[in-house]
Structure 1
Amino acid sequence: MYVTAQESRALSRLFGLLAEDLAEREVRERIGHHLLELLSADQFASFVWDTPSRSFGSGVWLNMSPDNLASYDAYYQFNDPITLKLQARREPTLVSQIMPQRELMRTEFFNDFLARDGLHWGVNVFSYAGVRNIGDLRIWRGRHRENFDLRTLELLRLVEPAFTGALIRAGGAPPRLMPEPAVAPRLSQREFEVAMMICEGLPDKVIAYRLGVETSTIRTYLKRIFDKLGVHRRSGIAAAFARNR
Structure 2
Amino acid sequence: MFSDMTMNEIKLFADIVAKLESYQCNDVEVRESVLTDLAKLLRCEHACSYILDPQSQHFIKGINENISEDAQKIYTDHYQFHDPITFKMRALGCSTVEEVIDYKDYYRTDYYNDVMKKDGLKYGINLYLFDEGRDIGDFRLWRGKNQENFDSREKGLLRILEPYLKRSILKNENNIQLINTLTSRERDVVELIAKGFTDREIGQYLNIGFSTVRTHLNKSLQKLGCANRAELAVQFNTALH
> Which of 45, 69, 79 does residue 82 from structure 2 map onto?
79
Deviation at 1:172, TM superposition (A): 2.9
Deviation at 1:11, TM superposition (A): 0.7
Deviation at 1:118, TM superposition (A): 1.1
- What aligned pairs does 1:42-121 form with structure 2 within 5 A after superposition? 42-90=45-93, 92-121=94-123
Could you tell me how far apart the structure 2 residues matched to 1:83 and 1:21 are?
29
- 2:35–2:65 Cα contact (<8 Å) kept: yes
Determine the structure 1 residue equivalent to 2:151. 149
Query: What's the CA shift string for 1:187-243, capped at 9, x where partnerless?
Result: xxxxxxxxxxxxxxxxxxxxxxxxxxxxxxxxxxxxxxxxxxxxxxxxxxxxxxxxx
Could you tell me how far apart the structure 2 residues matched to 1:111 and 1:55 are?
22
Could you tell me how far apart the structure 1 residues matched to 2:130 and 2:35 are?
18
- Tell me the secondary structure at the aligned position of residue 52 of structure 2: strand
Deviation at 1:116, TM superposition (A): 1.5
Query: What's the CA shift string for 1:86-113, capped at 9, x where partnerless?
Result: 11112x2111111111110000000001
Could you tell me how far apart the structure 2 residues matched to 1:26 and 1:88 are?
25
Query: What's the CA shift string for 1:30-80, capped at 9, x where partnerless?
Result: 211111211110001000001111110110011011222011111011110
Q: Which runs of 5+ in 1 are unaligned?
A: 176-245
Could you tell me how far apart the structure 2 residues matched to 1:165 and 1:102 are?
37
**Normalised TM-score (structure 2):** 0.69
Deviation at 1:170, TM superposition (A): 2.1
Please identify which structure carries the higher helix content: 2
1:8 aligns with 2:4: no
Q: Which structure would you say has the larger Rg?
A: 2
Deviation at 1:167, TM superposition (A): 1.1
Deviation at 1:147, TM superposition (A): 0.5
Could you tell me how far apart the structure 2 residues matched to 1:123 and 1:143 are?
14
Could you tell me how far apart the structure 2 residues matched to 1:163 and 1:2 are?
19
- Tell me the secondary structure at the aligned position of residue 63 of structure 2: strand
**Normalised TM-score (structure 1):** 0.68
Amino acid at match of 1:131: G
Deviation at 1:22, TM superposition (A): 1.9
Could you tell me how far apart the structure 2 residues matched to 1:135 and 1:162 are?
13
Amino acid at match of 2:12: A
Determine the structure 2 residue equivalent to 1:135. 137
Q: Which runs of 5+ in 2 are unaligned?
A: 179-241
Amino acid at match of 1:160: E
> Which of 164, 167, 172 does residue 166 from structure 2 map onto?
164
Determine the structure 2 residue equivalent to 1:179. none
Deviation at 1:26, TM superposition (A): 1.0
Could you tell me how far apart the structure 2 residues matched to 1:78 and 1:130 are?
24
Could you tell me how far apart the structure 2 residues matched to 1:16 and 1:56 are?
28
Deviation at 1:143, TM superposition (A): 1.1
> Which of 34, 37, 46 does residue 40 from structure 2 map onto?
37
- 2:2–2:10 Cα contact (<8 Å) kept: no
Could you tell me how far apart the structure 1 residues matched to 2:108 and 2:173 are?
39
Calculate the aligned-residue CA RMSD, in Å.
Answer: 1.5
Could you tell me how far apart the structure 2 residues matched to 1:140 and 1:22 are?
26
Amino acid at match of 2:54: T
- Tell me the secondary structure at the aligned position of residue 148 of structure 1: coil
Deviation at 1:161, TM superposition (A): 0.9
Q: Percent of aligned pairs with the same residue?
A: 32
Could you tell me how far apart the structure 2 residues matched to 1:170 and 1:65 are?
30
Deviation at 1:136, TM superposition (A): 0.1
